[in-house]
Structure 1
Amino acid sequence: MINLKGKRCLVVGAGGVATRKVKSLLECEAQVTVVSKKACSDIEKLAQEGKIKLIEKSFSPEDLDGNFLVFAASDDPITNRLAAMEAAKRGIPVNVADDPELSTFIVPSFLRKGHLTISVSTGGKSPRLARRLKEWIESNIPSGVEELLSKLEKERSFVKKSGLSMVEKVNFYDEIIDRSGILKKKGDIEN
């Protein structure tokens, strides 16, 4: 995971796939620019709300200048390939929708629950499987995880100053996690 807060990111394309990329970037508080001849209504709305910058024109290599990373998500494979090749020449990380071979990075399917972030990746082989696995994991996260995470965070400063060995630290945290009971499997019986 990379911190994109305040970073300039370019999305080439303005259809459904591009919209998902834009929304993910906005969640990360990136500064998003979209370049496309035509934009779907969701992209136009985000531009009208001032959440993104929309440049309605064909992609050109100069559009890459000053960007931290690029998503090539147009409905035109030639445009996506051009964006990928030009980004690579400039050393700008690029993700090409539906073409992991042209991508210099992949985006895992991820979920957030408070401060807990879990990501699932198939290395670009099957984004749909990654998404389904993420949904399955999300539906199986027990309630109380956020509270447990807060408790562990509070204990962490004590543990750092405690002088405990690594094994003792692991045992300390495991004891808290085990006592919480949230990781017990359904159907487990108490001793």
Structure 2
Amino acid sequence: MNELFPIFLKMHEIRTLLVGAGPVGLEKLQAILKNSPRARVDVVAREIEEETRAFIAQHSTVSLLRKEFEESDLDHKDLVILATNNAGLNERIRTFARERHILLNVADKPALCDFYLGAVVQKGSLKLGISTNGKSPTMAKRLKEFFNDIVPEEIDETLQLMHEYRNRLKGDFKEKVETLNAHTRGFIHDRAD
């Protein structure tokens, strides 16, 4: 059973540490910035791929430190992502992060993670997160492709109209929810037919 609790983070309001600047580190950084272009990320790595360096240079909210990880790199961080292939370092950082109550993700090591980076489908303001509970990133990728194909491009227009309608509704919370549920019920049913 998947017991993960899905949340969407305001990455521009927190600080993230990414340890590792190789291909996996670049992939994680690209995913973060694609979804949250203003994310504040500090990258720490002893070795830095040129492609990673070039990508970081294009993003003013990302800083790069070429050095060995030190525990003090965790100061004032809210989230940590490890993209190293050094098991000992990963375990050490995990211990430090736990002591500081900082959430941690370790690339390709689900057992070490406090959270997973799922596949994401985005159409305008709509964002869907897909999780396989760390079991199959490939299946998450296929589901992402599926939802990208079936969610209409004009969904953002519909969301804007629903936002305006919601703001005009009168009554208590329960009445508003019932009205909005009745108004949106046909959206999915009409497309399923």
Residue 30 of structure 1 pairs with residue 39 of structure 2: yes
**What is the Cα-based RMSD across aligned positions, in Å?**
2.1
| Cα distance, 1:96 vs structure 2 | 0.7
Q: Tell me, which stretches of 5 or more residues in structure 2 are unaligned?
A: 1-7
Question: Normalized against structure 2, the TM-score is what?
Answer: 0.83
1:17-96, aligned counterparts within 5 Å? 17-27=24-34, 28=36, 29-49=38-58, 51=60, 52-96=62-106
- Alignment partner, residue 8 of structure 1: 15
Residue 167 of structure 1 pairs with residue 178 of structure 2: yes
1:170 and 1:70 map into 2 onto residues whose CA distance is: 38
Structure of higher CA gyration radius = 1
- Which one has the bigger helix percentage? 2
Question: Normalized against structure 1, the TM-score is what?
Answer: 0.84
| Cα distance, 1:49 vs structure 2 | 3.8
2:123 and 2:166 map into 1 onto residues whose CA distance is: 20
1:48 and 1:168 map into 2 onto residues whose CA distance is: 48
- Which one has the bigger strand percentage? 2
The SS at the match of 2:88 is: helix
Q: 1:124 to 1:157 in 2, by over 3 A?
A: same
Q: 1:50 to 1:5 in 2, by over 3 A?
A: closer
| Cα distance, 1:8 vs structure 2 | 1.7
The SS at the match of 2:140 is: helix
Letter in 2 for 1:94: L
CA contact 2:124–2:155 (8 Å) conserved in 1: no
Residue 154 of structure 1 pairs with residue 147 of structure 2: no
Letter in 2 for 1:171: A
The SS at the match of 2:110 is: coil
Of 90, 104, 127, the match for 2:137? 127
Q: Which moved more, 1:164-173 or 1:136-145?
A: 164-173
Kindly provide the CA deviation profile for residues 119-161 of structure 1, in whole angstroms up to 9, marking residues without a partner as x: 10011111221122111111121343222212211211122x1
Q: Tell me, which stretches of 5 or more residues in structure 1 are unaligned?
A: none
CA contact 2:119–2:129 (8 Å) conserved in 1: yes
Of 122, 126, 141, the match for 1:116? 126
2:180 and 2:155 map into 1 onto residues whose CA distance is: 20
1:115 and 1:33 map into 2 onto residues whose CA distance is: 27
Q: 1:60 to 1:184 in 2, by over 3 A?
A: same
